[in-house]
Structures are given as C-alpha cells and as structure tokens.
A and B are shown apart, each in its own frame.
Chain A
Amino acid sequence: MTDIKEVCKDIRCDIMTSIGHLGVGHIGGCLSLVELLAVLYFEEMNIDPADPKMPGRDRLVCSKGHAGPAVYATLANRGYFPREELLTLNQGGTHLPSHCDMNLTTGIDMTTGSLGQGFSCAVGVALGSKLEQDGATIYAIIGDGESQEGQIWEAAMFAAAKKLDNLIAFTDYNKLQIDDEVAKVNDIAPLDDKWAAFGWNVIDVEDGNDAEQVRAAVQHAKLGLGGGKPTMVILNTKKGCGVKWIEDLGAANHNTKISEEQARAAIAEIRGEV
C-alpha cells in the first residue's frame, strides 16, 4: 500500500529539484496541487504508465497549464518516464515545457497553457468518452485566477447542459494570482454557489493540501458518476504549500527565482529534516 504522504513529499521534492535546477518557475501553483495529483495518479485514476495511450483510460487535463512541473514530477514518480528527465525542465529541446504539451510529454493528455481553453478541451474529451461509451472518468484542474476567464463558464454551462456526468473537475482555490489576492483583483466568490447555479454537483474541501481529505472528496465525487451532473471539487489550498518561505511570498510566489541552494533547503524542510 502506497503511503500517500510519502508520495506527496517525493513529488514536492522533485518539483523543487527541477525548478531549482532551472532557477525559476511557477512554483506556487505547482506546490498547491501536489496532494490532488498524488491521489489521482497513485490511487484513483484508471491508468497504466506502461501503456500511456491505453484506450478507455481515465484522463487528466490540467487546464492551469503552468502547473506542468507538478504534473511532470507526478508522472515521473508514477513511472511514465525517468525522474532524471525532470532536470531538463524548460531547457531548449526538452520534452518538459513550462506548460503542458500532449505532443511532447508522455502521459500528458491535453495541451494547455492559454487559460480557460483546457477546461473546454476537457469537456470535449468527456463528450468523446460518452460517445465512445468507454466508461472513462475525465478529470480537469482549473486555477482560481483562471476562473476569471469567460471560457470557463461557457464550458461549465455546456457540460451541465449535456449532462457530462463523467467529468470531475477541481478548482485549485489558493486565493492568489499573479497581481494580488484573487479577492482583490476580481473576486470569484462565492465559488460554490456559482458552480451549483451552473448545474454542477459541488464538493468543498476544507484543506486541499490534506491528502486524506482530497481522497475522500474524489471518492465522494465518483459516487456522482453517471448521476446526470458533472462535479466540481473546490480545493481550498495554500499556494506554495510545503515550503514556508515560498508560502510567505504570497502572490509573489506565482513565478519566482529559486536557486539550487534554496531548493536543497526546501527539500530538507519537506523531508522534515530541519
């Protein structure tokens, strides 16, 4: 039985290593997603790293494509490709670009990065799975800042109208975006009411960086599969979660410089060695 907390530590450390090796990256929104990615890829998704294009597999669309480094660290730890490749992040010619690219990276199901679009793509994937009647569950992750995009709500309306009950989406509600707090820039609250009003099941997770709570939410969401509605799981997360000084940067941790020395210290902190 996999110890999910240890998996989360491994993923966090590999995110720090790859971004630290490069010197800069979207660290905040990568660290906030770790528990979700660990639970999905290590416990809940029907996937096979040895057969990444397996027909009928569950799929994940990370619409907040700038969290690519977090997805790559998860895929590497899950066995999709060697962990050493994580050191090529964002280097010229790499298979691991800053934003997710289905044509470059083994295990990535959709190209994302222009915010809002990936979510519509996920809705298209969910529709495709419905038409194929292959029983797949389609997962999508959107950001809270990304939720300011009109396209998110176009997709939300369509998914509910077409009863895409094979779609489980997550909002990484870390409350921060590049310029400031989401509430100060252009508030998206009340998020749960909005999704409910759009015809979705809504599950609130008090601490989206608690793997147990995330697992319970995903399993709860799965009970809704086939029930006529898509489901939105709102994860109250902490941007930069797991590394104190990065958390303390607040909105400045969206895309920040990180030295290899800082990365090593962060890894020691994640491992509980300091």
Chain B
Amino acid sequence: MEMRAVYAECLAKLMTEDRHVCVLDADLAKASGTRKLYEQFPRQMFDCGVAEQNMASIAAGLSSYGFKPWIESFTPFATRRICDQMTISISYAKQNVKIVGTDPGVSAELNGGTHMSMEDVGVVRSIPGMVIFEPVDDVQLRAAMPVLNAYEGPVYMRLFRKELPTVFPADYQFDLFKADTLREGKDLSIFVSGFLTKDVLDAAEKLAAEGIDAEIVNVHTIKPIDRETVIASARKTGAVLTVENHNVIGGLHSAVLEALAEERIPVCAVGVPDRFGEVGKMPYLRKVMGMTEEDIIAKAKYALSLK
C-alpha cells in the first residue's frame, strides 16, 4: 500500500470532520500525495511555496487561533531546516502543530545526500515537548492519524511515502504511547521503528530456524519512548538489538540506550553508521549502510554473544 495515499485519505477524512484541521505545504504537496485535496478543501489547504520556516511559524499562528494545522515537507526540510521554528514558534509556545516529514533516511533514494536525513529524529528528540512517531505500514498509519490529530500538542511524524507491505492485522489497536510487541521471544529483544519492521520479522523467522528466539517490539513512538515495555522486554531476554533507518546517534538506538542506562544489558545497533547519504536505490543504500536483513541477523547473533 502506498503510504502517502493512506495519509492523504486520512487527512481528507479529518478535514471533512473538522473545518479547523488544515494542511500547509512548502511546494511538495504533490510529493506528499495531498495536492489533489486542494480542490476539495480550498479553505483548509495552503501552499506556502518554498519557505518551510515561514510555513512552520504560520502554522503556529493558526494554532493560536484554534486551528489544527498539519505541515508537510521532505524529512530534512521538515526538521533540520525548521529546527528553531519547531523549537520556539511551535513547541516552546505550546502550539498544536503536526509536522510530517516524508522520505526519511535511505528512502529518499535518488534525491541523494542533500535530501536524505539521517539525523531528523536526533534533532527533534532533543526539543522538549515533541512527540515523534514513525509508522510501519498502512494499518498503523490509518489507526494513528486520528489519534495524532486529537493529541493536543506538537508531533513529528516520519513518513515513508512509497509502497510498503502490510504488517499489522486489520483489528490492530493503536496506542500512541505504547510500543507493540509483534513477536514474543526469550533470547534477545529487537526494538525496531518504521519500514524495517517487516525485515526484522523476516529475520526473526530465520533466527528461529537456527534456534534463536527473538522478541520483536515495534517502537512506533520514539519520543516519549515506552520505557516500561522496553525495560521489561530487555530484562526478560538479556540482550538487545535496535534497528532503524536513521543515524545510530540520536535516534531509536540512543532512546533505547537511555531507557536501559541503568540495566546491565548489551545493546547493539543496526542503522546508519554516522555518515551522510548518497544517491542510490534502497537495496544499494541498505547494503552500504549495513542495514540489510543479513546485517540484522548478524548483529542479532552478536548481541546474543554478549550476554
């Protein structure tokens, strides 16, 4: 299912239900899949042109007037480009703005290093008051959208916009602040965010064939992290691997390490090894970044060896 299509469908529903829900673009409505909504919602959709900082502060002004703005752009421009506006106009001023960054990490593919944010979660995670959510599939995204909209406060959503396989069952119950245990296991815990969840589940089956029983937890909300679930799982298995489409500095790996700082448990990482992106298709990029299914399996075994 194409994630941006689900996202646009959910936004249309929210705008239909509440005229105070509005969407602001910075000339990437087409990329976000929302351009076609402009005709249907002319008083709720505004294209600010290529001016993300202005867009972020305008959204804060709209929020102060009782509106529920969603702003969207590619991940780097929705985070590091507007870092101060997100910090002051939005979070410090306690404004109810939802920020959507599309094409996170290696999924920016042919747009390359300039558009490939490996640091966005790290940037946003250090801003007080921000909630960070990264959906796995269409089911989780569809379940999350009304919850994010109803949440009174700023949220950053890291949205993979292309096709993704469905992972969650149709009857999935979403809790914004509760991580989802997708597979119970006893040998090690794998905490994963975003599209890599499917690969981790596949890797777990291969590990199981080798007699390794991995517990898989989808940490869809990276901030505030569900410490209770993370700590309980880590204590149960005694070894941890984090898997993310982000620099291993500042993102899920860091958040899990912080949660487990007082535990004597090894925590290994699969993610971007503190480097910039480059052009290429996903299989190539995942290979050069060390983020393939084989890398996940190898790192899982290494984490297990440290017990």
Residues on A facing B (Cβ under 8 Å): 61, 101-103, 109-111, 113-114, 116-129, 131-132, 150-151, 154-155, 157-158, 161-162
By a CB distance below 8 angstroms, the chain B residues around A124 are 57-65
Tell yes or no: B93 within 8 A of A by CB.
Answer: yes
Q: Which residue of A110, A129, A155, A158 contacts B93 across the interface (Cβ within 8 Å)? A: A110
Q: How far is the CA of A116 from the CA of B84 in the complex (A)?
A: 11
Tell yes or no: B117 within 8 A of A by CB.
Answer: no
Q: How far is the CA of A157 from the CA of B57 in the complex (A)?
A: 14
**Are A110 and B49 in contact, with the CB atoms below 8 A?**
no
Q: List 7 A-B contacts (CB under 8 A).
A: A109-B64, A114-B85, A114-B87, A117-B84, A124-B62, A127-B62, A154-B54
**Known contacts A103-B93, A117-B89, A128 near B54 by CB under 8 Å:** no
By a CB distance below 8 angstroms, the chain A residues around B84 are 114, 117
From residue A68, how far is it (CB to closest CB) to chain B in Å?
14
From residue A173, how far is it (CB to closest CB) to chain B in Å?
22
Tell yes or no: B43 within 8 A of A by CB.
Answer: yes
**Are B61 and A127 in contact, with the CB atoms below 8 A?**
yes
Q: Which residue of B51, B67, B85 contacts A117 across the interface (Cβ within 8 Å)? A: B85
By a CB distance below 8 angstroms, the chain B residues around A118 are 57
**Are A128 and B61 in contact, with the CB atoms below 8 A?**
yes
By a CB distance below 8 angstroms, the chain A residues around B298 are none
Q: Which residue of A111, A121, A129, A131 contacts B58 across the interface (Cβ within 8 Å)? A: A121
**Known contacts A102-B93, A157-B49, A120 near B57 by CB under 8 Å:** yes
Residue in A111, A118, A122, A161 whose Cβ sees the most chain B Cβ within 10 Å: A111
**Are A120 and B88 in contact, with the CB atoms below 8 A?**
no
Q: Which residue of B lies closest to A130 (CB)?
A: B43
Tell yes or no: B146 within 8 A of A by CB.
Answer: no
From residue B68, how far is it (CB to closest CB) to chain A in Å?
11
Tell yes or no: B237 within 8 A of A by CB.
Answer: no
Q: Which residue of B lies closest to A155 (CB)?
A: B54
**Are B61 and A122 in contact, with the CB atoms below 8 A?**
yes
Q: How far is the CA of A109 from the CA of B60 in the complex (A)?
A: 12
Q: How far is the CA of A123 from the CA of B60 in the complex (A)?
A: 10
**Known contacts A114-B88, A158-B54, A120 near B61 by CB under 8 Å:** yes
Q: Which residue of B lies closest to A127 (CB)?
A: B62
By a CB distance below 8 angstroms, the chain A residues around B165 are none
From residue B43, how far is it (CB to closest CB) to chain A in Å?
6
Q: Which residue of A103, A128, A155 contacts B57 across the interface (Cβ within 8 Å)? A: A155
Within 8 A of A (CB), among B68-123: 84-85, 87-89, 92-94
Tell yes or no: B10 within 8 A of A by CB.
Answer: no
By a CB distance below 8 angstroms, the chain A residues around B92 are 111
By a CB distance below 8 angstroms, the chain A residues around B85 are 114, 117, 120, 151
**Are B51 and A125 in contact, with the CB atoms below 8 A?**
no
By a CB distance below 8 angstroms, the chain B residues around A102 are 64, 93
**Are B54 and A111 in contact, with the CB atoms below 8 A?**
no
**Are A154 and B61 in contact, with the CB atoms below 8 A?**
no
Q: Which residue of A122, A128, A150 contacts B67 across the interface (Cβ within 8 Å)? A: A128
Q: Considering the complex of A and B, which 7 residue pairs feature the smallest CB-CB distances, nearest first?
A: A124-B61, A128-B65, A120-B57, A154-B54, A111-B93, A124-B58, A121-B61
By a CB distance below 8 angstroms, the chain A residues around B66 are 128, 132
Q: How far is the CA of A111 from the CA of B94 in the complex (A)?
A: 9
Tell yes or no: B48 within 8 A of A by CB.
Answer: yes
Within 8 A of A (CB), among B8-57: 22, 43, 46, 48-49, 51, 53-54, 56-57
Q: How far is the CA of A159 from the CA of B200 in the complex (A)?
A: 48
Q: Which residue of B49, B60, B64 contacts A158 across the interface (Cβ within 8 Å)? A: B49
By a CB distance below 8 angstroms, the chain A residues around B87 are 114
By a CB distance below 8 angstroms, the chain B residues around A101 are 93
Q: Which residue of B57, B63, B67 contacts A151 across the interface (Cβ within 8 Å)? A: B57
Q: How far is the CA of A102 from the CA of B61 in the complex (A)?
A: 12
Q: Which residue of B lies closest to A101 (CB)?
A: B93
Q: Which residue of A lies closest to B54 (CB)?
A: A154
By a CB distance below 8 angstroms, the chain A residues around B46 are 127, 162
**Are A129 and B65 in contact, with the CB atoms below 8 A?**
yes
**Are A151 and B88 in contact, with the CB atoms below 8 A?**
no
Q: Which residue of A116, A123, A132, A161 contacts B61 across the interface (Cβ within 8 Å)? A: A123
From residue B98, how far is it (CB to closest CB) to chain A in Å?
15
Q: Which residue of B lies closest to A152 (CB)?
A: B54
By a CB distance below 8 angstroms, the chain B residues around A121 are 57-58, 60-61, 64, 89, 93
By a CB distance below 8 angstroms, the chain B residues around A132 are 65-66
Q: Which residue of A114, A116, A128 contacts B64 across the interface (Cβ within 8 Å)? A: A128
From residue A136, how far is it (CB to closest CB) to chain B in Å?
9
By a CB distance below 8 angstroms, the chain A residues around B56 are 120
**Known contacts A102-B64, A103-B93, A128-B65, A111 near B57 by CB under 8 Å:** no
A132-B66, A154-B54 given; name 10 further pairs at CB < 8 Å.
A102-B93, A103-B94, A110-B64, A117-B53, A117-B89, A120-B54, A120-B85, A125-B61, A151-B57, A158-B48
Q: How far is the CA of A157 from the CA of B85 in the complex (A)?
A: 18
Q: How far is the CA of A118 from the CA of B89 in the complex (A)?
A: 8
Q: Which residue of B lies closest to A99 (CB)?
A: B88
